[in-house]
Structure 1
């Protein structure tokens, strides 16, 4: 496993060692001991989530203001443009975003620590998205930031208008959103 730092402290790209031949491939998608050794993060994952979405579906930008979740995210079918936004007011990168292509082909994962909003745009015909969380889903604490807030300026690789849930259409602007200390 290889861990790559990003331009935002704590946000990490994880590339697994993939062993393949003409029969297919094998890789260890998660190993707690190795993850802790390479990232310095001792995460206890309590919930796994799996979604399937069609092309141009944009989910996010979601976070929980209490029971904040760290997330280890990956794609098992198709591809997405995955985004994390730093919502830690004490961080020098508050309000900054990082985006990366996650796909079944590249097998990359993204570690998103608590204190970030997260979202993704499906760039293939469909995509299956899996993620582990460090705390349970708590709808009473869930928040959403508007996906196209100009103060954040995410450069989504859109083809036309995204397909959004009602909740995501009503996301808050960063300036009005609940944030972390």
Structure 2
């Protein structure tokens, strides 16, 4: 399994090395030892979830306040552009983002550490995205920023399709910064 780090400290990309033969392929989708060697606690993950979305759909930009939420994300079918934005107050890379293509050809998994907004857009006709999450969901800790926030200026590669009402009514990155500073003082 190849492991890649980014300029933003925290996120890690795990890319399996599948074995192909006449039947198809076999690949490891998670390796606790490799995860532990790169700073993840493999026993911390408590929930697996999956979404299916059609072309152009954007899910995000979502995060959690409090202790945050770590997740391991992979695209089991199709292709997505996965986007992370650093919202760790005091971080030297606060507000910076990284975009990674995840698809069913590379089998790569992206670790999204606590303190990041996360979202993705479906690039093909349909995509199944799997999440391995390290905390139970607490709606009172939900954070969201609009997918088209001008300060973030995320470059979504295909026209934006169907979105949830929650995502369409999300606030701005500027409003999130004020909220984070307020919570930091409390």
TM-score range normalised by the length of the shorter chain: over 0.9
Tell me the secondary structure at the aligned position of residue 9 of structure 1.
coil
Q: Greater CA deviation, 141-150 or 121-130?
A: 141-150
1:41 matched residue in structure 2: 40
TM-score by length of 1: 0.94
**Cα separation, 1, equivalents of 2:3 and 2:84:** 17
User: Displaced runs of 4+ in structure 1, greater than 3 A?
Assistant: 178-181
Q: Greater CA deviation, 14-23 or 82-91?
A: 14-23
**Cα separation, 1, equivalents of 2:138 and 2:109:** 24
Please state if 1:68 is matched with 2:68: yes
Does the aligned pair in 2 maintain the 1:74–1:107 contact within 8 Å? yes
Q: What is the RMSD computed on CA atoms of the aligned residues?
A: 1.4
**Cα separation, 2, equivalents of 1:158 and 1:17:** 29
Tell me the secondary structure at the aligned position of residue 121 of structure 2.
strand
Tell me the secondary structure at the aligned position of residue 179 of structure 1.
helix
**Cα separation, 2, equivalents of 1:40 and 1:120:** 24
Q: How many residues align?
A: 179
Structure 2: runs of 5+ lacking an equivalent: none
Does the aligned pair in 1 maintain the 2:16–2:106 contact within 8 Å? no
2:129 matched residue in structure 1: 129
CA drift at 1:135: 0.5
Structure number having the greater helix percentage: 2
Q: How does 1:1-181 map to 2 (within 5 A)?
A: 1-37=1-37, 39-43=38-42, 44-159=44-159, 161-177=160-176, 178-179=179-180
CA drift at 1:67: 4.6
CA drift at 1:162: 2.9
Structure 1: runs of 5+ lacking an equivalent: none
